[in-house]
Structure 1
Amino acid sequence: MKLYGALIFLLTVSAACGLRCYSCTVADPKSCTDTETCIAFLDRCYSLKPEVNVVSKGCMASQLCIAPITCCEGDLCNGAVPTGPGVILLLLSSALITLFI
């Protein structure tokens, strides 16, 4: 039961700290490792790959998310490699299933 309390606490703290997004303008999307915490009204992470071989990533307001801009809602969701709470929760749920089943 304490594990559930700790999990809820961690999710609450991560939500209260604000959205985090990868932020860069580079030629190789995999080399984008800088992150930023978005200010209050910027509620999406975005990725933009125009015709030129340059990728731009950062924070954006949801109203501005139109093609060719790709937007997403989770922490660090605009990265090339899956990271952040989604991966941690997947691993945690797999461990819990293994322990209890």
Structure 2
Amino acid sequence: MYLFCSYLIVSLFFYLVCGLRCYSCTADPESCTDTIACSAFFNRCYSLKPEGLKVVIKGCMASPACIGSITCCEGDLCNGAVPTGPGVIMLLMCSALIALFK
């Protein structure tokens, strides 16, 4: 059991080290499902909805550029409509398994 949890924690570490992932598109907000791995320079995900248009623009951005009507956030895929967090889910599963089999 502890070996399994150790594997989950190591997997999470490598997942986090590989860099930030963001949704990336210029489309209708409901159809924005493409993701990209951001380069090391970019440390935020962003969303921009131009006024008067039924379009959303999403991608990676450096934190100093997060000004005005640009909505920025930290964390993998945080600029999506539905919050996601595979790393958090893995840690919760590991904690639950440890609690069950102690």
Query: For the superposition of Structure 1 and Structure 2, which TM-score range results when normalised by the shorter chain?
Result: 0.7 to 0.9
Counterpart code for 1:70: T
The residue matched to 1:6 in structure 2 has which SS? helix
How many angstroms apart in 2 are the aligned matches of 1:90 and 1:4? 9
- Aligned pair in 2 of structure 1 residues 94, 2: CA closer, same or farther (>3 Å)? closer
Counterpart code for 1:48: L
- Aligned pair in 2 of structure 1 residues 31, 67: CA closer, same or farther (>3 Å)? same
| Cα offsets for 1:73-93 (capped at 9, x unmatched) | 111111111223256247526
Q: 2:9 — aligned with what?
A: 8
8 Å contact kept, 2:49–2:56: yes
- TM-fit CA distance, 1:94: 7.6
8 Å contact kept, 2:43–2:63: yes
How many angstroms apart in 2 are the aligned matches of 1:79 and 1:36? 12
Q: 2:60 — aligned with what?
A: 59
Q: 1:30 — aligned with what?
A: 30
The residue matched to 2:79 in structure 1 has which SS? coil
- Matched residues, percent identical? 67
Alpha-carbon RMSD across the aligned residues, in angstroms, is 2.3
The residue matched to 2:60 in structure 1 has which SS? strand
| Cα offsets for 1:15-35 (capped at 9, x unmatched) | 1211110000112x1210111
Task: Compute the TM-score of the two structures, normalised by the length of structure 1.
Answer: 0.81
Which sections of structure 2, spanning at least 5 residues, go unmatched?
none
Counterpart code for 2:81: A
- Would you identify which runs of 4 or more consecutive aligned residues in structure 1 move more than 6 Å? none
Which sections of structure 1, spanning at least 5 residues, go unmatched?
none
Q: Which deviates more, 75-84 or 87-96?
A: 87-96
Q: 1:48 — aligned with what?
A: 48
Aligned length: 100
